[in-house]
Amino acid sequence: QDCTFFTRKEILRLHGRYYEMAPNVVPMDYTKDPDVKLPMQLIINMPELKENPFKERIVESFSEGGEGSLSFNDFVDMFSVLSEMAPRELKAIYAFKIYDFNTDNFICKSDLEQTLNKLTREELTAEEITLVCEKVIEEADMDGDGKLGFADFENMISKAPDFLSTFHIRI
């Protein structure tokens, strides 16, 4: 409870939500620290995540080993980082993980293309996508390696005061 940004009441509420998703699997009693993980399919059907184009990436970034099933700890962790009270640096770290589709610790051009496709539901033409990707890399890449490292990403995020309010899911 003191490792997240939630109060006791909110954590109990989160537990209720977690339980509702799979009542026959999730135990009500967590004092013995059971090892229960819900698969990704169940979690991305939550109303808060259902319509989000990045839902799979979000769930993968918070799961152990990156394969997408969340234990209750990971579940709470996810919503804690996405809550209002998480600081900017922490959100930036996880946002970087989310946008890094091929998990190579760099946001390269293919990651950008995938991001853009998800954002615009594939309505931009291929040339437009290429143009936008090049412009993004040109603007954000500072050390000249052609892709965005975490430092570049964070620098760019710091210029966007809206990041804190948009990277926020209410639960």
Partner 1 sequence: MSQPPSITLRVPEDTESNGQEPSPDSEGALHTSFQQLIQEQSSLMEASLKLEMQERGRETPAHLPPPDFCAIGSPGQGEQHLGYSSTSLQILATMPSRTIGRSRGAIISQFYNRTARLRHRSSRPPLHQLCRVARTSFWQYDLENDPDRATLEDKRRLLVKELLSLSPSQRSHMLLTVPLSLAEKHFLRQELSRQRGPLGQHTQHRTPSYPCGGSKDYIVLGLRCLWYRLLTLLPAAQPWHYSLKEISGRFGSSVLSYFVFLKTLLMFNIFPFLILLVFVVALQAAYPPASATPQPFTGLELLTGAGYFTHSLLYYGYYSNITLNDPCASSPNSSMCPLAAPWLPYNMSLAYVFSVGISFLVTCILLVYSMSRSFGESYRVGSSTGDVAVKVFCAWDFKVIQRHSVKLQCENIYTQLKVQQDQQARGSSQRQQEAILLVLPFVVSLLNVLMPHLYNLLALWEKQDLPVTQLYVAICRNLILKMAVLGLLCYQWLSRRVVCSTAECWETCVGQDLYRFVVMDFIFTLLDTLFGELVWRLILEKRLKRKQRPEFDIARNVLELIYGQTLTWLGVLFAPLLPAVQTLKLLLLFYIKKTSLMQNCQSPSKPWQASHMRLVFVSLLCFPCFLGAAVFLSYTIWSVRPSETCGPFQGLETIYKSGKTWVQVLEKSSPNITWFTWVHQHLVESPFLLFVVSAVLLAVIYFNIQVVRGQRRIICLLKEQIAKEGEDKIFLIQKLHSVYEYRERHA
| Footprint of partner 1 on 134-153 (CB under 8 A) | 135-137, 139-140, 142-147, 149-151, 153
- Phi/psi of residue 73, nearest 5 degrees: -60, -45
Residue 19 makes contact with partner 1 by CB under 8 A: no
Element at 71 (helix H, strand E): strand 70-71
Compare residues 5 and 19 and give the one whose CB is closer to partner 1. Answer: 5
Out of 16, 27, 34, 89, point to the residue binding partner 1 (CB under 8 A). Answer: 89
Compare residues 24 and 31 and give the one whose CB is closer to partner 1. Answer: 31
Q: Which of residues 49-68 bind partner 1 (CB under 8 A)?
A: 49-54, 62, 64-67
CB atoms within 10 A of CB 155: 14
Task: Give residues with Cβ within 8 angstroms of 10, minimum separation 6.
Answer: none
Least separation, in Å, of the C-beta of 111 and partner 1? 8
Residue 17 makes contact with partner 1 by CB under 8 A: no
C-alpha span between 154 and 151 (Å, rounded): 5
Residue 31 makes contact with partner 1 by CB under 8 A: no
CA distances from 96 to 41, 71, 124, 148 (A): 23, 22, 23, 10
Residue 96 makes contact with partner 1 by CB under 8 A: yes
Out of 5, 42, 44, 83, point to the residue binding partner 1 (CB under 8 A). Answer: 5
Residue 29 makes contact with partner 1 by CB under 8 A: no
CB atoms within 10 A of CB 152: 20
Out of 29, 32, 126, 166, point to the residue binding partner 1 (CB under 8 A). Answer: 166
Out of 14, 38, 59, 95, point to the residue binding partner 1 (CB under 8 A). Answer: 95
Q: Which residue has the tokens 């570049």?
A: 152
The answer to whether the CB of 74 falls within 8 A of the CB of 64 is yes
Residue 44 makes contact with partner 1 by CB under 8 A: no
Q: Which residue has the tokens 């954002």?
A: 119
